[in-house]
């Protein structure tokens, strides 16, 4: 998996911009989503992993990933409030 732009990609709307990330802060210039930059990047990597159909070692399917503030299902979007930093 290529992690290019995962730290600059908004997990809420998909907008990619260098201006979205400023050190430890993330704010999407398109939709206004705010979060900790590393938290946003981790969600972006997990979403790309799931969307590309990667399977766990035991062969069972994974359809969402767990977050400290909820869960995300790529086809349905974010199901919890964004973590405030």
pLDDT in tens, 41-79: 988 888 887 777 655 555 555 555 566 655 555 554 444
Confirm whether 84 is domain-assigned. Answer: no
Residue 40 and residue 11 in contact, taking contact as beta carbons nearer than 8 Å: yes
Confirm whether 9 is domain-assigned. Answer: no
Q: Is the pLDDT of residue 18 over 90?
A: yes
Confirm whether 56 is domain-assigned. Answer: yes
* Mode of pairing for the β-strands spanning 34-36 and 65-67: unpaired
Confirm whether 43 is domain-assigned. Answer: yes
The number of folded domains in the chain is 1
Confirm whether 85 is domain-assigned. Answer: no
Confirm whether 4 is domain-assigned. Answer: no
Confirm whether 83 is domain-assigned. Answer: no
Instruction: List Cβ<8 Å contacts ≥24 apart for 45-53.
Output: 45/1, 45/3, 45/6, 46/72, 47/11, 47/72, 47/74, 48/1, 48/6, 49/1, 50/74, 52/1
What pTM does this model have? 0.61
Domain of 38 in residue numbering reads as: 18-74
Confirm whether 36 is domain-assigned. Answer: yes
């Amino acid at each position: 998996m290529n992690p290019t732009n995962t730290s600059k990609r908004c997990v809420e709307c998909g907008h990619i911009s260098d201006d979205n990330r400023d050190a430890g802060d993330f704010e999407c210039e398109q939709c206004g989503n705010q979060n900790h930059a590393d938290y946003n990047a981790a969600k972006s990597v997990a979403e790309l992993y799931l969307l590309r159909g990667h399977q766990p070692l035991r062969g069972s399917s994974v359809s969402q990933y767990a977050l400290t503030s909820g869960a995300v299902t790529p086809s349905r979007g974010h199901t919890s409030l964004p973590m405030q930093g």
